[in-house]
Amino acid sequence: MHSIRTRLFLVFSATGMVLVLLAATLYQLSFERSLVEYLQEREQQRMEEVAERLADYYQHYQEWPTAQHGNHPRGVRGALRLPRHLILLDESGERVSGEAMEGRSQRSLAVVLNDKPVGTLIYHPMQTDITDSTDRAFRQQQWHSLALTTLAALAAALLGSWLLARQLGGPLRRMAHLTQAMAQGDYGQRFQTHRRDELGLLSESINQLAHHLEEAARARDRWLADTAHELRTPLAILQGEIEALVDGIRKPDPEQLMSLQQEVVHLKHLVDDLHDLALADVGSLRYRMEAVDLAPLLEEQVRLYSHRFEEQGLHFSADISSSLMVEGDSTRLRQLISNLLSNSLNYTDSPGTVRLEAKVYQRQVVLVLEDSAPGVAEDKLPHLFEHLFRAENASRNRQFGGSGLGLALVQRIMQAHGASIDVQPSAMGGLMFTLQFRELA
């Protein structure tokens, strides 16, 4: 199989040679036609000059000579000095001089004296075959120059084709090697180029693709490791509790059974979150979009979490506008609000404060959720929406039962609704989540 560089060279070379040969052929045809036309025009001018001299002769002698004319002992041709192939007719059409050539076309030119025809000059026009030695030498010289020019142009076309094929084929070959390495799972290679054309853009796109694939591979490995770790913890607790009951170390009293139930609930919640997040990542999480008023949903979740915040030693306040119309799935929006409130509940130190505000601003429904310390380092804020990510700051860790999937699922739900979510440090010491939906008129 020929390489792309070889194919490009063959295509460019063939195209260049065809164009050069076509140009040479057209030039040759044009030259031949122009040369014949030039020689014919020159012959026409010569015949007109001959006709003028014949008119001068007639004006001087007032008649055409004959072979028996006493004034012209050398005969008619000698007197007129006309070539044999030129035929001169007098005003009555009688031949004065010259002989006709068989099989040759003829042209006539009037001999005019004082605007009165006194005779006719008949000549055989030049044929397409050039017979004059000087003209043939000139044509041969032009053919020789054309041949040298054509060979030089062909050589230049081959050289240019080789350089162009090398210029295009080299980067393409390196891109092919890079993509083959990517296909085999090696995403660490990059394509070094300083081009500013389409190949440069393509190489930059391949580099970005390799970077994203490398990040995705790392995220996948981290996801698998974190998932296994998250599942291992509650399973290990369950195994230990059950083995203690089997061995008789602990008695199956209601307290032990409640502990087992909590671990099972936690494990089920983790598996459900993993399932929902996996569906969201592949775009299979179902949404039933309709006009939804966020105000009742927010008030419902506020009622459900108020008592839990109070038990946790947190002061919770909410300021919700009366109407917050958006287009969305009420079930998923309820899940979104619950995940955000649960995140603040699990990761805010007691005593602390959690504040929720929802209003309409510039045709946008804006939700702001703030909590008090602890916060998260600014360099870790962009990672809060990653799978199983936990900032190891104060209580924002695994200790309080968070799965590390809630915020990732929140981001997927927001993206499915065409909305945006942003997280910044809060003035109260914790985090401030800002959610923006397009208001439904």
* Total domain count, the chain: 2
Are 301 and 324 in the same domain? yes
Residue that finishes a domain, picked among 231, 261, 281? 281
In a domain, 380, yes or no: yes
Q: Which two tokens stand for residue 72?
A: 């012209």
Cα distance from N-terminal residue to C-terminal residue, the chain: 62
In a domain, 3, yes or no: no
Are 260 and 341 in the same domain? no
Residue that finishes a domain, picked among 256, 281, 306? 281
Are 277 and 304 in the same domain? no
3-state secondary structure the chain: CCCHHHHHHHHHHHHHHHHHHHHHHHHHHHHHHHHHHHHHHHHHHHHHHHHHHHHHHHHHHCCCCCCCCCCCCCHHHHHHCCCCCCEEEECCCCEEECCCCCCCCCEEEEEEECCEEEEEEEECCCCCCCCCHHHHHHHHHHHHHHHHHHHHHHHHHHHHHHHHHHHHHHHHHHHHHHHHHHHCCCCCCCCCCCCCCHHHHHHHHHHHHHHHHHHHHHHHHHHHHHHHHHHHHHHHHHHHHHHHHHCCCCCCCHHHHHHHHHHHHHHHHHHHHHHHHHHHHCCCCCCCCEEEEHHHHHHHHHHHHHHHHHHCCEEEEEEECCCCEEEECHHHHHHHHHHHHHHHHHHCCCCEEEEEEEEEECCEEEEEEEEECCCCCHHHHHHCCCCCCCCCECCECHHHCCCCCHHHHHHHHHHHCCCEEEEEECCCEEEEEEEEEECCC
Are 407 and 298 in the same domain? yes
Would you write out the chain's pLDDT as a tens digit for each of its 441 residues? Answer: 566 667 767 777 788 778 888 888 887 777 777 777 777 788 888 888 888 888 888 888 888 876 444 444 344 444 566 777 788 888 888 888 877 766 677 788 888 888 888 888 888 776 655 666 666 777 778 778 778 888 888 888 788 777 777 777 677 777 777 888 888 888 788 877 777 777 778 778 888 888 888 887 777 777 677 667 667 767 777 788 788 888 878 777 787 777 777 778 767 777 776 777 676 666 656 788 999 999 999 999 999 899 999 999 999 999 999 899 999 999 889 989 988 998 899 889 989 999 999 999 989 999 999 999 888 888 888 888 876 666 554 344 444 445 567 788 888 889 889 999 999 999 999 999 999 999 987
CB 221 within 8 A of CB 189: no
User: Which pLDDT does position 78 carry in this prediction?
Assistant: 45
Is residue 33 packed enough to be buried (19+ CB in 10 Å), middle (13-18) or exposed (0-12)?
exposed
Are 312 and 424 in the same domain? yes
In a domain, 58, yes or no: no
Backbone angles phi, psi at 193, to 5 degrees: -155, 150
In a domain, 308, yes or no: yes
d(CA 401, CA 70): 144
Are 244 and 335 in the same domain? no
User: Which pLDDT does position 2 carry in this prediction?
Assistant: 60
Are 257 and 375 in the same domain? no
Domain enclosing residue 392, as ranges: 290-438
